[in-house]
Amino acid sequence: MNLPAPRRVVLDTDPGIDDALAILLALASPEVDLAALSIVHGNCTLAEAVTNALALAELGSRPDLVVAAGCDRPLLRPPVTAHDTHGTSGLGYARLPRGAAQAVEEHAVELLIREIMAAPGEVTLVAVGPLTNVALALRKEPRLARAVRECIFMGGAFRAEGNITPLAEFNVYADPHAAQIVLSSGMPLTIMPWDITRDVRLTLADVERLLARGGPIPRFIAEATRYYIEFHQREFGWAGCSINDPAALALAWWPDLAQMRDLYVEVELASELTLGKTVGDSGGRSGRAPNVRLVERFDATTFVARFLQRMEDLADRLAA
Ligand code: RIB
Ligand code: CA
Using CA atoms, how far residue 5 sits from 8, 31, 153, 217, in Å, is 9, 7, 22, 26
CA nearest ligand 1 atom 2, residue: 170
Going from the Cα of 313 to the center of ligand 2, the distance in angstroms, rounded, reads 23
Where along the chain do its domains lie?
A: 7-319
> Whole-number mean pLDDT of the chain?
97
pLDDT at 7: 97
CB 190 within 8 A of CB 150: yes
Alpha-carbon distance of 99 to 105, in angstroms, equals: 17
Question: Average pLDDT for residues 137-160, to the nearest whole number?
Answer: 98
7-319 folds as Inosine-uridine Nucleoside N-ribohydrolase; Chain A (3.90.245)
pLDDT at 76 over 80: yes
Alpha-carbon distance of 28 to 49, in angstroms, equals: 21
State pLDDT tens for residues 102-119: 999 999 999 999 999 999
Alpha-carbon distance of 75 to 83, in angstroms, equals: 21
pLDDT at 59: 97
Ligand 1, closest atom to CA 42?
10
pLDDT at 1 over 90: no
CB 56 within 8 A of CB 49: no
Ligand 1, closest atom to CA 17?
8
State pLDDT tens for residues 149-181: 999 999 999 999 999 999 999 999 999 999 999
Q: How confident is the model at residue 42 (pLDDT cuts 50, 70, 90)?
A: very high
State pLDDT tens for residues 230-283: 999 999 999 999 999 999 999 999 999 999 999 999 999 999 999 999 999 988
Alpha-carbon distance of 79 to 95, in angstroms, equals: 25
Q: Which amino acid is at 312?
A: E
Taking every pair of Cα atoms in the chain, the longest distance, rounded to a whole number of angstroms, is 57
Going from the Cα of 11 to the center of ligand 1, the distance in angstroms, rounded, reads 13
- Residues within a 6 A CB radius of ligand 1: 14, 16, 18-19, 42-43, 128-129, 154, 163, 169-171, 194, 244-245
